[in-house]
Structure 1
Amino acid sequence: MLATVAQWLALATLTGVVVGCGTSLFLLPLYYLTGKSAAVPLWAQMILLPVGGLLNGLLLYYGYRANKTGLKDSMLAAVYDQGGKMPFKTCVIKPVAALITLSCGGSAGKEGPCSHIGASLAAGIGHVLKLNTELQRRIVACGVSAGFASVFGTPIAGAIYGVEVLAIGRIRHDFLFPAIIAGITSFQVSRWLGIPYQYYHIPSLPVFSELLFIETIGIGMVCGLVAWLFVDLIHFSRNLFQRLRLRYDIWPPLMPLAGGILLALLILAIPTDYLGLSLPLMDRALSGEPMPYLGFLWKSLLVAITLGSGFYGGIVTPQFVIGAVTGNACAHLLGISPMLGAAVGLVAVVAASSNTPLAAILMGVELFGGAVGMIYVAGGAIAAYLIIGHRSVYPDQRLAYSKSSWLKVVPDMPVGQEKAHLSYGLLRWWKRH
């Protein structure tokens, strides 16, 4: 056991340093470019979106033709199907595509490229050190955890997210120590390199209130339904664009161009606040400023079109925005603190959409402070996690255990292939009762 601790202390620290440097090289130009593009007028934004779509399409189409290994660049595929191997030659394609997406106004997140950088660099380290298959899988999970910790400034939650996201209902405890070491190291390296992080203060709440706890659980349930809509919109949009491309034999790089044109038309009616990362919108929600009741729908729609048409970007940052906007709006309806409502909503949508309730709750602790309202945040997060059922923004995420004894599932089946079995389980339950 002592040798295991020493081994992973060295490997995880090395991984954290390398991934922290890699994600910082992505985040620094990202913040510069998005800061410049945020000030462009509407007519320029309408031009940038189609141009960015075409550039995305060309980069991803021709870039991935260079991948001769046959390996997928999905972190989940690397852990489950590829023995921890990733196509290292393509590791810069997705980060560059994300820079184009976000600087042109595409509605997406920044964590996807960072987790991809983390997984690719960690897989490269494992290859150089000639690690066996099991250690290779663990070091890739370390890289993902380090990437999430670096991008959000939440070293513990980011580390747990990279492990918890692997499967619904199961956490590999043997992954935890290296993931936490890598996450903390990566965060410290990124902070030393000048990556800015935003934390929030929620005013102190009175002693525990049963009524307030029930109300925040209600907010969590609403956020679970919103996450349900968000996940289904993402999958519907991807399937729709894919079917259109195949039916009319459209050249693949033209699909994100079409998505960019559609986004350009939509922002004539939808505020441009929902484009890009939308972090100022989230900041206003968390400061207590009233949010529009349909804000979650506009952000979900723009994200679904952006990612579904073929732009590349992350999918967790939009969950932050959607959750904060939804929780804030619900809190105003209930007459409770909108800042608390936004915090509950942010954590709840992440817990539901990604099926990572523990990581989401810990993220709330690191973002908002551990002593303020975390019991309310935790209640809302668990409620949302249950409400969404067996849905996920990650189709390759494995389903280890069912969330309900009423539903029969096939263990370790990817969530994206589980709908038929879920329907079968519901039918059997209906017949029995």
Structure 2
Amino acid sequence: MNSDSKPLTLTESISYTFRRMLRSIPVAAITGTLVAVFLWSLDKVTDIRLHHAWLLYLLPFAGIAIHLLYKAWGKESESGNNLIIDEIHRPDKGVPPRMAPLILVSTVITHLFGGSAGREGTAVQIGGSMAQWIGNRLKVPADEIHMILICGIAAGFGAVFGTPFAGAVFAVEVLAIGTTSYRKILPPLFAAVLADYVCSTWGIHHTVYPIRKAIGGQNLYLCAMALLMGAASGLCGTLFARIAHHVKHLSHRFIPGPAWLIPFCGGIIIVLLSLLLHTSDYLGLGVYPQHPGGVSVVNAFKEGGAGGFSWWWKMLFTAITLGTGFKGGEVTPLFFIGATLGNTIATLAGVPVDLFAGLGFIAVFAGATNTPVACTIMGIELFGPEYALYYTLACFAAYYCSGHKGIYTAQRIHKHKYGKRIA
């Protein structure tokens, strides 16, 4: 029987929580350090790629290298974040320690050669695999291992984005739709705060996304537009999830020959798309512009900082990259997709561009992961609390409009979003 289901006295509850927090200290320290190494590495390889544009033409061969890397050592690590979520729900073989170096190295390779991917998935896998390894070293009981894995997710998420509160809530909210146990929140919050502190201590600085326009009081028109922005973001989030899943399914079905041919073909498609569009804006992370005036997350917060279909092209580049076997996260590309979509809608509707870029930034993520509370908190941590009402409206509208299938296939459906309980 899971220890979380046993009724505890106040003294037992305090002792139990304190013990979990102590266990999370080494998880946070190691995860924060590895995430710092990972973010530093991403900065370096991105700079190298920007100075050597020809590296993009080697992307197909980088895909083969990643495939061979996982074929030799990956095994169950190939499942990534879904493996961690599955292990939390139903512990089986555990999360292998080799997941951390594998995902770190393969994500760096993806970015060095121009693949469109993110960093959250990598950080979460680092946190989850290190949590499992530490749990095994500390001989954590089998019925408590799920909690240390949740702390690992929170530590990785909090450190990679500099949003520890959002990271802790995300770690418990992402597990299932329709039920979230907030009584588990203190240990992962402690882990996320500590991991973020450790990461920052290593000299890592996170991107600032300022929303500068002052809006006096509560504006009913902006509230209505925030709901519309959220609905569009939810549809966009579920579209991304579906395209990514379909790319993976179709590539395995229609690309004949050895398995390494799938990432090889995926790399060729990315190269061809970049050449056809005459831009490198949709390669890599996309947080900062690759040339003055280029499309990026940061520039999406400025008027004229995104083309009308920038969100679509980033979605396609990322779905092809990840769907054909390259490694990295989905969340930073989702930020790009949401921010550029928000910029486009704001320009058409005559509302503040920076505010709606911020709303799209968090709302597409909320729709794609079914985590509206975590994303609302992320908005407060990244953009400030002044517009918390608009964040909430956008994130929950995205959540309700995104259906029940997101980017994490291991996410359980406990209760239907619209009231029907799932058996």
TM-score, length of structure 1 as denominator length: 0.89
Q: Gaps spanning 5+ residues in structure 2: where? A: 1-12, 289-295
1:335 has 2:364 as partner: no
Share of identical aligned residues, percent? Answer: 33
Q: Secondary structure at the match of 1:273?
A: coil
Offset from partner CA, 1:383-430 (integer Å, 9 cap, x none) = 11111111200111101111113xx5634xxxxxxxxxxxxxxxxxxx
Counterpart position of 1:122: 131
1:253 has 2:260 as partner: yes
Q: Distance in 1 between matches of 2:325 and 2:171?
A: 24
Offset from partner CA, 1:105-153 (integer Å, 9 cap, x none) = 1001011111101000000111011111222110011001100001001
Pick one of 267, 270, 273 that aligns with 1:263.
Answer: 270
Counterpart position of 1:279: 287
Counterpart position of 2:84: 75
Question: 1:71, CA displacement in angstroms?
Answer: 11
1:241 has 2:239 as partner: no
Contact 1:63 1:90 in 2 (8 A): no
Q: Distance in 2 between matches of 1:39 and 1:402?
A: 49
Counterpart position of 2:24: 12
Matches within 5 A, 1:16-415: 16-41=28-53, 44-64=54-74, 74-82=83-91, 85-203=94-212, 204-245=214-255, 248=256, 250-270=257-277, 271-280=279-288, 281-371=296-386, 373-405=387-419, 408=420, 410-411=422-423
Q: Gaps spanning 5+ residues in structure 1: where? A: 412-433
Contact 1:237 1:305 in 2 (8 A): yes
Question: 1:83, CA displacement in angstroms?
Answer: 5.0
Question: 1:235, CA displacement in angstroms?
Answer: 0.8
Q: Distance in 1 between matches of 2:336 and 2:194?
A: 27
Change (3 A) 1:71 1:181: closer
Q: Secondary structure at the match of 2:297?
A: helix
Change (3 A) 1:5 1:84: farther
Q: Which amino acid aligns with 1:235?
A: H
Counterpart position of 2:4: none
Q: Which amino acid aligns with 1:216?
A: A
Q: Which amino acid aligns with 1:368?
A: F
Counterpart position of 2:293: none
Q: Which amino acid aligns with 2:127?
A: G
Range with greater deviation from structure 2 (275-284 or 22-31)? 22-31
Contact 1:109 1:316 in 2 (8 A): yes
Q: Which amino acid aligns with 1:220?
A: G
Q: Secondary structure at the match of 2:400?
A: helix
Contact 1:57 1:255 in 2 (8 A): no
Change (3 A) 1:178 1:389: same
Q: Distance in 2 between matches of 1:290 and 1:208?
A: 26
TM-score, length of structure 2 as denominator length: 0.91
Q: CA RMSD in A?
A: 1.9
Range with greater deviation from structure 2 (47-56 or 155-164)? 47-56
Aligned residues: 401
Contact 1:274 1:298 in 2 (8 A): yes
Contact 1:115 1:144 in 2 (8 A): yes
Counterpart position of 1:2: 14
Q: Secondary structure at the match of 1:383?
A: helix
Question: 1:24, CA displacement in angstroms?
Answer: 1.6
Change (3 A) 1:307 1:72: closer
Contact 2:56 2:114 in 1 (8 A): no
Counterpart position of 1:415: none
Offset from partner CA, 1:339-391 (integer Å, 9 cap, x none) = 011011111101100000000000000000112x2211211111111111112
Range with greater deviation from structure 2 (290-299 or 189-198)? 290-299
Q: Distance in 1 between matches of 2:324 and 2:369?
A: 21
Q: Which amino acid aligns with 2:35?
A: T
Change (3 A) 1:35 1:91: same
